[in-house]
Chains A and B, each alone.
Chain A
């Protein structure tokens, strides 16, 4: 969970006017930000250039990223721009249109622009029919109507809520749907297992759509998720030398079957990033851990699973790991995370992350000097070449 870290400079508008700034408005107050955006758009039109002038803070950020990886910074720039346009769109949808400026005319147009695309709704209809062919039309209608109001509600709230509030709100949506199923007559004949599948259906479709919108639910603006992703990735790179013996895993290097299982586990973990819904990401984690369990030999215990999973995470270095984990924690149905197989494995993944973050010489039962020596090594030289050597 992000900490509340506020600098004095973050509080006031960057323009130096009396009002408070807001990170979502790039540190300006609402008025200055709006003016800035208008200026920007005019300048864009005038010059015909497609690149938006990034406000100072963001420029610095992408400069730093530039040093790390130029292609990544391009991607990030694009993302920032996207999220900016989206914010504009969203804020113009939901703010009162009474403000008289050159904007007001386009506001009307924009509010119509923002609709969940028909293709999404149609896709959901088809999916419902294939997954629940026996359920009544009313159940179908209720479920889809709920997804619609769910998405609109989250979009409405995303701009004015902190991520924790938003997460709580989403959890309440799940609970509301559960309550609706318990009380509505339409769901009288639906058994408990199917109800759980219906919750999954709602989660899948609502979150898959929201996941596509930049900075709303995945790496939401106002959180440190993106920075932490990079920090985690660098940390794992730096720990490339950590081998199975440091973690006391019982893995057999020489055994081809063991290596195959490790590759499978790694590839599932890498696939986590490409799944859109929390359920989809959890399914990847579950499949990954099943391979890891097999890797430990039957019957595997928790004492074996965790070190082997840590090893797998270190070898995989999955992209945007922190963002992915936070996204699942915040927006997947909390009940599933508390029980279920996927919930258990996901908890182990969280443990692995926490262990990697806080790892010291002691936790690897190593000499402090030796540990420091390894850590000082450039990442490219270190590396137990477990994966590379055998390929």
Chain B
């Protein structure tokens, strides 16, 4: 049902997924604040962000949605990531469990959305490098295996955050252009049919005449 390609540019939706306390919200907050910092904008919420950006003269409306990370809300995932173009899967490099959670999310997303969705895995808290428990090679080889980009970030030191979102956006644009060309995407399938569907006139009168 999503119609991404209007004259106003691309509409892209991104969800942030990951366990509580891995710093999803801090990443988003950092991204929001950087934009507004010079305007002395006091941030009221870091739950979602709508941002208009220009990449290669393309107008992009980026909608970034944070999700509740508590375990008891895990089952609500599909409601959040419906119609998403991209997902950022965040884990804490000092917390192995959070990386296991990321693997679970990847499995679920692949199952539900197939390859329609662009995945980026973000290892957050690299300012705590000395406490790292998730091995660097393991994380990176896993990302390659599932076809996801891997990024390192530190929301605290503002490292890699801007790059993370930029990288993801570029990939989503590529994916979007690809699927539009192939023409097999759900987007174009909905768009093609825009003329009148003939009304089934036989519905009422047909059964009547049978009597």
Contact = CB atoms under 8 A, between A and B. Distances in A.
Interface of A: 19-20, 29-31, 91, 94-96, 98-99, 156-157, 160, 168-169, 171-172, 175-176, 178-179, 181-182, 192, 195-196, 248, 293-294, 298-303, 305-307, 334-335, 338-341, 343-344, 347, 350-351, 354-355, 358, 362-363, 365
Interface stretch (B44-52, B125-133, B139-147, B168-176): B44-52
Contacts of A355: 73, 76
Contacts of B159: none
Tell which of A29, A298, A299, A335 has the most Cβ of chain B within 10 Å: A299
Contacts of B44: 293-294, 298-300
B2 A338 contact: yes
Interface of chain B, main secondary structure: mixed
B196 to A, nearest CB: 8
B210 A299 contact: no
B200 A344 contact: no
Contacts of B50: 339-341
12 contacts: A31-B208, A95-B205, A168-B1, A169-B197, A293-B44, A307-B70, A334-B2, A334-B3, A338-B13, A341-B50, A354-B79, A362-B72
B7 A176 contact: no
Interface stretch (B98-106, B150-158, B186-194): B186-194
A357 to B, nearest CB: 11
Given A172-B193, A175-B3, A302 B67 contact: yes
Q: A-B pairs with the 6 shortest C-beta distances? A: A192-B8, A301-B25, A302-B66, A339-B63, A306-B68, A344-B48
B117 to A, nearest CB: 13
B194 A338 contact: no
A372 to B, nearest CB: 18
Contact of A30 (B7, B73, B204): B204
Nearest to B76: A351
B180 interface: no
B179 interface: no
